[in-house]
Amino acid sequence: GLNRFAFGAQVTALADGRRFYQEQLPMKGFQSSVDQRLHLGLGEVSRLDSLIVAWPNGSYTL
Strand pairing partners for 12? 21, 52
Give ∠ CA 49-53-57 in degrees, rounded to 5. Answer: 160
Q: Which of 61, 59, 42 is nearest to 51 (CA)?
A: 61
Percent of the chain surpassing pLDDT 90: 66
pTM listed for this prediction: 0.81
Note the pLDDT of residue 22.
Answer: 94
Q: Which of 52, 30, 29 is nearest to 40 (CA)?
A: 52
The per-residue pLDDT for range 19-48, each reduced to its tens digit, is: 999 999 877 778 887 788 889 999 999 999
